[in-house]
Amino acid sequence: MTATSEKDQVRIFDTTLRDGEQSPGASMTLEEKLQIAEILDDMGVDIIEAGFPIASNGDFEAVSEIAKRSKNSVIAGLARAIHADIDRCGEAMKHAGKGRIHTFVSTSPIHLKFQMNKTEEQVLEIITDTVTRSRNLIDDVEWSAMDATRTPIEYLCRCVEAAIKCGATTINLPDTVGYATPDEYKSMFEQIRERVPNADQAIFSVHCHNDLGLAVANSLAGVAGGARQIECTINGLGERAGNAALEEIVMAIRTRSDVLPYMTQIDPKFMVRASKMVAGASGFAVQYNKAIVGKNAFAHESGIHQDGMLKNAETYEIMRPEDVGVKATSLVMGKHSGRHAFRDKLKELGFELGDNALQDAFRRFKDLADRKKHVYDEDIEALVEDEISILGESTKVIALTVIAGTGGPQKAILTMDVNGQHVTKEATGDGPVDATFNAIKAIVPHEAKLSLYQVHAVTEGTDAQAEVSVRLEAGGRIATGKGADTDTLVASARAYVSAMNKLALRQQTGNPGALAAV
């Protein structure tokens, strides 16, 4: 194994809050972004791309606030090759301890012809102008060649040379549409670094999309070709098929150090916690068989596998679950557990709650323990995350009674807190869920369309908590809400109301949809 001192440092650039949030329906609230940024900072992420400041006032506020709060990470904002974008990004970086402007422009023939309607020479002028403008605002400037993998190598060399000459300190050559293969991607970096005369003055970066399922493989191939920054997201969240997954890249480098002589400063023990936090905020559940952070990543059902695991865990596990924050066993808590034990359990799970939030969470835990024989770690995490998600919401579910059965029609009687006033309505529907959602509409009339309703059990058993995801669409905007409860209908109501609150907030603040797909 190569000694640590001999390994090349690879920077991890996390774009969950920018590229990840561009997944349709994955928009996050300011509080959710701040929480995710904090855990990324604690995890050791080198650069956090916090958002796209020109997109909306909300995005600008999020980037600015994250920049103020960051303890260790460089905070980056994205800007198109437009003066207004760059200036807005520079303004968001004013209070950053370490800030970066990340600007980009398309370089491939298909993008120049159909998207930009520009010539190659015009794009070179744009690069010179916008990189120079960015560098006049901040010392740390990253430039990206959108659709680099479909750009002729000769022209790409000219673009890279111009960007570095104007002050770009990081050059990102993304596989924007997930088109490349590992050999092609590695070769591109080797050729660029060999042909561009000032290539040694910048750090090269990879940014790979997963349209062909090659994002992680391509990212590692790019590093083999000389890149020393990897752009990725928690859970591989991102547009279309997503981005390269941070957890898979980091653990591949860590586990296969014999053939990947690199190192990152990521503490992998935060990975499962970060994964759950991003899944909760985005409404995108992690598939059970997802590498590293999936529920089944360290689970074994096959008799042969179980036999091997009992004899030696290394027979079927190439990583230790505790290395990524997975506990080998869950401490079962129940209705006799006290507040002190509950607080310790929350701390063990990575939650630090204030006194009022702790009291509310403990009350809900006791209610849950009365209804459930065993309360597992996953139950507590779902309960607290649900509690956090409804903090500050103007509309909340207070009580729900549903009458259902074969006789029909099904009826829901719902009481909600609407801006401090309790309102009760009843409604019928085609099934108990429909009746519940109709009751919500009776209390808070709206025209939002339900585009996703998803239920899964947090743990095993008939008394398991249900975790519900609801996605609403209205006026070109999308919002996702989550709710958790042992009663699926209560969880459904909470999820619907959460999505409705987020949608109302976005309709008030505005949220332009023309975001970039670097």
Question: Residues marked as binding?
Answer: 19, 207, 209, 243
CA 221 from centroid of its chain's CA atoms = 23
Can the peptide bond before residue 409 be classed as cis, meaning omega within 30 degrees of 0?
yes
- Specify binding-site residues for Mn(2+): 19, 207, 209, 243
Distances (CA, A) of 400 to 240, 417, 480: 37, 12, 21
Q: Where are the alpha helices (DSSP H) in 149-214?
A: 153-165, 182-195
Residue 445: partners with Cβ closer than 8 Å, 6 or more residues away: none
Distances (CA, A) of 282 to 24, 27, 81, 234, 278: 10, 6, 28, 11, 6
Residue 494: partners with Cβ closer than 8 Å, 6 or more residues away: 386, 390, 397, 468, 481, 482, 483, 484, 485
Q: CA quadruple 287, 292, 298, 301: dihedral positive or negative?
A: positive
Distances (CA, A) of 155 to 144, 160, 265: 14, 9, 35
Residue 181, classed as helix, strand or coil, is: coil
Instruction: Return the closest-CA partner of residue 205 out of 46, 417, 411.
Output: 46
Instruction: Return the closest-CA partner of residue 382 out of 507, 250, 484.
Output: 484
Q: How far apart are CA 319 and CA 334, in angstroms?
A: 31
Residue 345: partners with Cβ closer than 8 Å, 6 or more residues away: 331, 333, 337, 377, 380
Strands 11-14 and 47-51: parallel
CB atoms within 10 A of CB 455: 14
Question: Edge to edge, what strands does the sheet with 477-485 contain?
Answer: 449-457, 466-474, 477-485
